[in-house]
Structure 1
């Protein structure tokens, strides 16, 4: 596949020229002093403050993670920023802005320090491969980010920022709890000399988990070497993740009512063993007061062996990314003019044991400029053009192979009004797109050779207000999609297909939503917060016009309360609500809705100098609920029970 230089050149030139022409008169002016926000984010592929970005951004820092007593990212993210979770007892999938469970992994982009966790196939990214003790903060961008990140940044972006070796010391942590769970974590950082530093981390976890035949053994190790000069910086990092887990299979509602912990007898030999090696490296150079150049490269190699419903399988997949970019900041009398532009190149390969393989190459160019109009008003404009090629082989559908070439583009326009350091309003429109995965392209109805790229546009408006003791975020949005890539159980089965249905480009759909998030520091020792999210997600065309999208709860929310009893003791309580919804795949809305449910979590934390101990109880009242479910036109729906009450006691020491 070759890129089209004319289209890319026109895109970049047009965006940068329009921004520069509007702001040319400000370059010669002296910069005024500006208020620096305490929280810095890299959403936007450059450092900035959430209040300066025309988007709905929430940052969960290390202090908030520690306060919650959570032991996994799934616990941290549940209910945050409208995230709805599906878990088939083998790993959670995170949905933002109203996507079904099977599509959430393809429409929510998950990054670790800018490296994509999303896979070339439809397998969900292993988000718990990053232990909590390695995380500095988690950045959540709700809504489309097609210009900045391209493919799959449809409902939102979860960017996990890990610790860097800026200090000397480390942490040791041991924990244990329900279902024979035991875990050990450690990390250490230090200086080699004035410019070189190191960081290393390791973790090990084993447990039986809630259900029978669902035990896991998980380990990870990471090493990082970092150089920081006066005008440049460099790092190289390598990591290994190993997760071996038994799969308990789905149940009927009657089986869940009888015993939610039982395993499906037809899945007594099922398991999945995933081993991932990742290498990251980056070099950044400040070539002038305004411009900084960077080049990042990432490579991951994953080997998966499994048995699913009695059938063994293997999947080897790899991903190489090369990401050059240039970032500029011009100080002006009206504020900072920020420019970020770059090229994203990737080559992914996936090979299955049953005769299916694919090599997917993506090349795209993007540019975005944030331009000050006054000292309190700025606008953002940007665009991206992307091309993808697939070299697809499938023993049943494409035994001789087929080559697919497609392209997509995205544009963005936003306005940010910030009258002071703790108050802002914004409006924003952003395009989004995603390309079909190898599994999806290889299982389509007869005479459908290649699914169209999914495209859409998001409109959003929001208000943030953060006085001394409060923080309020309100937003409303509309997300319209065309040619959404979904699996339809009623579609024509491909020639040689082993199960009914096929992947299709669905009818148009729309998601209307609103959210409110309020945190209140009631007193120096008391913090409380409330979040509510509303989504009206339905088909707007075709035979299902007016029907609700499956697995999308119209109402969801979260509330928490934290109190510091004294300088040593803290109590944290959390209530997460998920409303009723149709089972996954029930596009005709014919099956009864799944019941709404509440999950109550509590943590008691004790700190004494460098020691920290925490007791966390998830699902305190042992609520019985369905964490994932799949519709069948034959009536044999499959359900996965959510985890019952679980206790975890942790102790850590910082040195």
Structure 2
């Protein structure tokens, strides 16, 4: 560790120690009131008029102030602090996806203001959460339990909803927000070629109490993680010949993200209209580690070149929400969305000595989706009844496009496909007693590819006291095959990878229990404890398989061949007392899996243990908040295909810790500094990393982090009339 790092760590730790020692422990009743009020704001992204969901699900809320104190720029920066969520990064693609209650991103629905987000891999599921910018976000809602009736297929483990900020607080008409963030990637940093560089700008105008709008932009430049590799311009030449030592490029590929947005929020009488326009652009560069060294005929010197690649994603989002009273206390919500998602692929010859592109080998549109979406529902249909209430609605999705890498002689075989869903759903509120309620629900869905399906659920709540409550959710573990699994096409002289249009949905049972209690500590302190248990039994699970095509070549495709059972228990606790905030939770989860319906499949549960804790301390006199988060991810074991049948693979345990200081120097200028991945996690030993299709061998390690990193963020907020 060099001197600069030592000084940084010493200063950082000393500041925390001095701050904790110097401040007196006084009572902040206002903060406790804020927490109480926050726990009642359970709107699941569809507006506060959605009354039925308040009792249905366990909901966690991450506020903008929570995002700010850890300098979170995208969703991946934030979600890892949740006990039952694990972020799975992919160094080769730059993607990071969510794993919730042991289920991967295919089983978690991610919404933007209640509308599913389009991505490279589908609508709402398996989203690359590094692509979701948080600079325009008011809060993040994490809803746990099977929600297929309200949110359609694939909402098995839960829903994550990003809620856009609307309007300005206070009496100001204008607000200008500017921030700059510099971050090391491990020990790598320079102003342009290394590290992470983020700039944000947003301007908001409260025209009147009925009308507001905002415009903004964000840039996130991640220069990649070298980790011993030597970059794009490295080549080893000996005796006028290229020596391929495998050191060219980077461990994690560099990428640059640009986000532009505009929002309009208008109140017309009792009705609200909200429109969001967003454009997202991402470019991921992949450097070829193999260098070609042909001789230049004019000079006789070696001319080193490499075949590099760029994957570019462009996304346009147009979301419209209209809500208000339909009649009396009966409310309506309408959602309309058009999203256009495209992924481009370029392969080019890069001249290393001249540091420029010689020619393009491929320049193709490899994936395209146009998504039309609409949803509407009427809630609180029987407002005068103390026993019965109902919510009825519809949902429509139309996705057209293709998912392919259009290269080689088979490019013309790539055709556009269309996938449509027509859904109708209803949830009913049966208040048996003042303490006991049931909420049966059902959704009928018609899909253009696999016909009619039925999704059901029944939820129940029992209030032992005003603070001691039980929630239970039993429902379908319904997951529909996504666009890639149905229609992916990548066929040329060396590849034969195709989707399977005959896939059927997965189904099964999902059970979620949440028992929680709150305790008052003194005048302002609150202790909250929640015990959760969950069980998923998923049948006909979709997996990648190897079979033969009509020409007896190996065909890599998908089939309904696996099943999985997950059983878990978690205990979460939080204390807010005076200036202190403390959280501690643990989860114990087991999974039993069958691969390819093998007789040798493992019927026993493979268990893992995770631990999460966080600590916060506020210093009002200095306008400063100190925070730290620690997460222990225990050894995980899964059943994976092996050469002679299924085998147990595992990923070793590791511990992740972040810490930060956020302080307001003036009422307009704020500074946040801290460290991520303090224990310097990069690679974790693993024997469950697939290196090919279903039935192939596995790798020996997983890349989880970029090493210990430090960040500094300067924020300037100017409010005026």
State the TM-score bracket (shorter-chain normalisation): 0.7 to 0.9
Q: Could you tell which deviates more after superposition, 559-568 or 224-233? A: 559-568
Please list the CA deviations of residues 161-192 of structure 1 after superposition, one character each: whole Å capped at 9, or x if unmatched.
11112434242211112143211112222222
CA distance in 1, matches of 2:538, 2:137: 33
Q: Could you tell which deviates more after superposition, 357-366 or 623-632? A: 623-632
CA distance in 2, matches of 1:49, 1:300: 28
Question: Deviation at 1:502?
Answer: 2.6
Which among 259, 264, 268 is matched to residue 220 of structure 1? Answer: 259
Q: 3-state SS of the aligned residue for 1:152?
A: coil
Q: Which residue of 2 aligns with 1:399?
A: none
* Pairs within 5 Å for 1:81-480: 81-89=83-91, 90-99=94-103, 104-119=104-119, 121=121, 124-167=126-169, 168=173, 169-178=175-184, 179-211=194-226, 212-213=249-250, 214-247=253-286, 269-306=308-345, 313=364, 314-328=366-380, 338-351=389-402, 352=404, 353=406, 354=411, 355-389=414-448, 404-442=449-487, 450-468=502-520, 469-480=526-537
Check 1:420–1:611 CA distance in 2 against 1; reply closer, same or farther (3 A cut).
farther
Normalised to the residue count of structure 2, the TM-score between the two structures is 0.74
CA distance in 1, matches of 2:390, 2:72: 37
Which among 633, 638, 644 is matched to residue 707 of structure 2? Answer: 644
Given that 1:284 and 1:293 are in contact with CA atoms closer than 8 Å, whether structure 2 keeps it comes out as yes
Is residue 630 from structure 1 mapped to residue 690 from structure 2 by the alignment?
A: yes
Check 1:634–1:479 CA distance in 2 against 1; reply closer, same or farther (3 A cut).
closer
Question: Deviation at 1:149?
Answer: 0.7
Q: 3-state SS of the aligned residue for 1:128?
A: helix
CA distance in 2, matches of 1:429, 1:511: 14
Q: Which residue of 2 aligns with 1:77?
A: 79
Q: 3-state SS of the aligned residue for 1:451?
A: coil
Given that 1:50 and 1:57 are in contact with CA atoms closer than 8 Å, whether structure 2 keeps it comes out as no
Q: Which residue of 1 aligns with 2:191?
A: none
* Pairs within 5 Å for 1:536-551: 536-539=590-593, 542-543=597-598, 546-547=601-602
Q: 3-state SS of the aligned residue for 1:42?
A: coil
Question: Deviation at 1:36?
Answer: 7.2
Check 1:497–1:136 CA distance in 2 against 1; reply closer, same or farther (3 A cut).
farther
Question: Deviation at 1:287?
Answer: 2.3
Please list the CA deviations of residues 338-374 of structure 1 after superposition, one character each: whole Å capped at 9, or x if unmatched.
5322110111012243414321011100111223222
* Pairs within 5 Å for 1:422-571: 422-442=467-487, 450-468=502-520, 469-488=526-545, 491-495=546-550, 501-521=556-576, 523-539=577-593, 542-543=597-598, 546-547=601-602, 554-567=608-621, 568-571=623-626
Given that 2:74 and 2:131 are in contact with CA atoms closer than 8 Å, whether structure 1 keeps it comes out as no
Check 1:560–1:494 CA distance in 2 against 1; reply closer, same or farther (3 A cut).
farther
Q: Which residue of 2 aligns with 1:615?
A: 673
Given that 1:412 and 1:429 are in contact with CA atoms closer than 8 Å, whether structure 2 keeps it comes out as yes
Given that 1:538 and 1:545 are in contact with CA atoms closer than 8 Å, whether structure 2 keeps it comes out as no
Is residue 597 from structure 1 mapped to residue 654 from structure 2 by the alignment?
A: yes
Q: 3-state SS of the aligned residue for 2:682?
A: coil
Q: 3-state SS of the aligned residue for 1:133?
A: coil
Q: Which residue of 2 aligns with 1:40?
A: 41
Check 1:164–1:473 CA distance in 2 against 1; reply closer, same or farther (3 A cut).
same
* RMSD over equivalenced CA pairs, Å: 3.4
CA distance in 2, matches of 1:480, 1:356: 36
CA distance in 1, matches of 2:119, 2:436: 39
Question: Deviation at 1:376?
Answer: 2.6
CA distance in 2, matches of 1:274, 1:573: 34
CA distance in 2, matches of 1:573, 1:375: 41
Q: 3-state SS of the aligned residue for 1:287?
A: strand
Given that 1:109 and 1:158 are in contact with CA atoms closer than 8 Å, whether structure 2 keeps it comes out as yes
Given that 1:50 and 1:58 are in contact with CA atoms closer than 8 Å, whether structure 2 keeps it comes out as no
CA distance in 2, matches of 1:196, 1:226: 6
Aligned residues: 585
Please list the CA deviations of residues 460-505 of structure 1 after superposition, one character each: whole Å capped at 9, or x if unmatched.
22211122311112111211111111223xx314447987643110
Question: Deviation at 1:51?
Answer: 9.3
CA distance in 2, matches of 1:636, 1:537: 19
Question: Deviation at 1:529?
Answer: 0.6
CA distance in 1, matches of 2:133, 2:461: 35
CA distance in 2, matches of 1:509, 1:250: 38
CA distance in 2, matches of 1:44, 1:545: 44
CA distance in 2, matches of 1:549, 1:78: 28
Check 1:224–1:405 CA distance in 2 against 1; reply closer, same or farther (3 A cut).
same
Larger Rg: 2
Please list the CA deviations of residues 260-319 of structure 1 after superposition, one character each: whole Å capped at 9, or x if unmatched.
xxxxx9996133110111111122241222212232110110121125899765211111
Q: 3-state SS of the aligned residue for 1:85?
A: strand
Given that 2:141 and 2:160 are in contact with CA atoms closer than 8 Å, whether structure 1 keeps it comes out as yes
Question: Deviation at 1:634?
Answer: 5.2
Check 1:562–1:549 CA distance in 2 against 1; reply closer, same or farther (3 A cut).
farther
Question: Deviation at 1:622?
Answer: 0.9
Q: 3-state SS of the aligned residue for 1:506?
A: strand
CA distance in 1, matches of 2:79, 2:543: 25
Q: Which has the higher contact order (CA 8 A, sep 6+)?
A: 1
Check 1:544–1:554 CA distance in 2 against 1; reply closer, same or farther (3 A cut).
farther
Check 1:615–1:86 CA distance in 2 against 1; reply closer, same or farther (3 A cut).
same
Check 1:482–1:635 CA distance in 2 against 1; reply closer, same or farther (3 A cut).
closer
Normalised to the residue count of structure 1, the TM-score between the two structures is 0.81
Q: 3-state SS of the aligned residue for 2:416?
A: strand
Given that 2:585 and 2:613 are in contact with CA atoms closer than 8 Å, whether structure 1 keeps it comes out as yes
Q: Could you tell which deviates more after superposition, 586-595 or 288-297? A: 586-595
Question: Deviation at 1:144?
Answer: 1.5
CA distance in 2, matches of 1:39, 1:645: 37
Q: Which residue of 1 aligns with 2:61?
A: 59
Question: Deviation at 1:208?
Answer: 0.8
Where structure 1 has 5 or more consecutive residues not aligned to the other structure, the ranges are 1-34, 252-264, 390-403
Check 1:70–1:166 CA distance in 2 against 1; reply closer, same or farther (3 A cut).
closer
CA distance in 1, matches of 2:331, 2:386: 22
Given that 1:40 and 1:49 are in contact with CA atoms closer than 8 Å, whether structure 2 keeps it comes out as no
Where structure 2 has 5 or more consecutive residues not aligned to the other structure, the ranges are 1-35, 185-193, 227-248, 291-303, 349-360, 489-495, 521-525
CA distance in 1, matches of 2:344, 2:508: 35
Q: Which residue of 1 aligns with 2:299?
A: none
